[in-house]
């Protein structure tokens, strides 16, 4: 699978105003973060999207998401930050959550120096780290941490999808196959971890109230379609500000395919417009 991912991380790249790499002393060693500054930010102090790339906690590189990160930054007029968190199986739960939370809190503390409006900081991520996007929002809320302006879980693994209709319908033949998720979960969790813990399965959180505004996206051809929809229902029932987008004809991972599919490119641009409406 790592070989299959390689082509997604090859250029050429869309134009961007500026790009730099931050290296911070993270909680589990040095943490690299790629910063994309748009050509025309929407404001002097810009909105910012902290993005966590998917890959089942096991695969994925920043280069694989370079195209959508540049497209979103330019279209929305916001700074995007992509975190190079540690991958499994070497780094287990909670390492990834620790690293992502560390950077989010760092950005709030250093917003002005970064040219960022601390009132316009969002966190987003896809697939397995769509899960982590939900977890970060829950954790900051539970701990009365800094208030996110937005969180953007894309086709999140809000719960394990093995017994869902979408899990049954998407067993094989598409980008993410249901039974492949077992390998990724096994890589992520230690034998002693409780899979029902809300920071592993955010659908199980005791409360989903008072979370930041949300853009949640699901896709028709995706094993995670139904658990993502269930999480959207939880957020709506708890009274949160929710924008729910369903792409019936797209597969899991569509932002990675913007260079190869007009439909994926359009969906990514529409997502960028929604982000701009919240933090642009």
Residue spans of beta strands (DSSP E) within 38-87: 46-52, 79-84
Rounded Cα–Cα distance for residues 248 and 254 (Å):
12
The phi-psi region of residue 147 (left if phi > 0; otherwise alpha if psi is between -120 and 50; otherwise beta) is: beta
Could you tell me the pTM of the whole model? 0.96
Q: Quote the DSSP letter at residue 7.
A: G
Residue 52 near residue 83, CB atoms below 8 Å: yes
Residues 73-90 have pLDDT tens digits of 999 999 999 999 999 999
Helix (H) or strand (E) holding 203: none
pLDDT for res 250 = 97
Q: Which residues pair with 116 in a beta bridge?
A: 46
Query: SS3 of 46, please?
Result: strand
In which residue are the tokens 């991958």 written? 87
**In contact, 148 and 75? CB cutoff 8 Å:** no
Q: How far apart are CA 27 and CA 156, in angstroms?
A: 25
**Omega within 30 of 0 (cis) for the link into 94:** yes
Strand 29-37 to strand 18-26: parallel, antiparallel, or no bridges (unpaired)? antiparallel
Q: How far apart are CA 241 and CA 207, in angstroms?
A: 15
CA–CA separation, 273 and 127 (whole Å): 21
The answer, yes or no, to whether the previous bond of 75 is cis (omega within 30 of 0) is no
Specify whether the CB–CB gap between 208 and 238 falls below 8 A: yes
pLDDT for 4: 57
pLDDT at site 7? 67
The pLDDT value recorded for residue 8 is: 76
- Is cis: bond before 161, omega within 30 of 0? no
Q: Which residues of the chain have pLDDT under 50?
A: 1-2
- The values of phi and psi at residue 163, to 5°, are -105, 20
DSSP 222: -
- The predicted pLDDT at position 6 comes to 65
pLDDT tens sequence across 116-154? 999 999 999 999 999 999 999 999 999 999 999 999 999
The Cα 8–Cα 256 span in angstroms is 7
Measured CA to CA, the distance from residue 18 to residue 111 in angstroms comes to 17
H helix intervals, the chain: 2-6, 66-76, 95-109, 128-142, 165-169, 180-188, 225-237, 262-279
Q: State whether residue 1 is helix, strand or coil.
A: coil
**What pLDDT score does 19 carry?**
98
């Amino acid at each position: 699978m790592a070989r299959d991912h390689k082509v997604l991380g090859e250029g050429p790249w869309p134009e961007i105003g500026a790009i730099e790499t931050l290296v911070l002393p993270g909680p589990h060693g040095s943490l690299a973060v790629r910063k994309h500054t748009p050509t025309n930010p929407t404001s002097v102090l810009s909105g910012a999207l902290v993005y966590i790339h998917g890959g089942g906690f096991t695969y994925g590189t920043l280069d694989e998401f370079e195209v959508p990160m540049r497209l979103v930054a330019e279209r929305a007029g916001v700074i995007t930050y992509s975190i190079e968190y540690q991958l499994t199986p070497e780094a287990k739960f909670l390492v990834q959550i620790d690293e992502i939370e560390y950077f989010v809190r760092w950005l709030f503390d250093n917003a002005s120096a970064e040219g960022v409006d601390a009132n316009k900081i969002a966190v987003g991520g896809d697939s397995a780290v769509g899960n982590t996007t939900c977890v970060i929002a829950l954790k900051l809320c539970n701990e009365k941490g800094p208030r996110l302006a937005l969180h953007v879980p894309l086709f999140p693994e809000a719960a394990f999808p093995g017994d869902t209709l979408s899990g049954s319908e998407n067993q094989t033949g598409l980008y993410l196959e249901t039974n492949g998720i077992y390998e990724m979960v096994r890589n992520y969790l230690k034998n002693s971890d409780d899979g029902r813990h809300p920071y592993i399965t955010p659908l199980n959180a005791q409360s989903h109230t008072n979370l930041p505004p949300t853009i949640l996206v699901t896709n028709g051809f995706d094993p995670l379609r139904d658990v993502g929809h269930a999480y959207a229902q939880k957020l709506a029932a708890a009274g949160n500000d929710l924008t729910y987008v369903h792409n019936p004809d797209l597969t899991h991972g569509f932002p990675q395919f913007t260079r190869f599919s007009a439909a994926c490119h359009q969906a990514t641009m529409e997502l960028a417009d929604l982000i701009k409406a919240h933090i642009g």
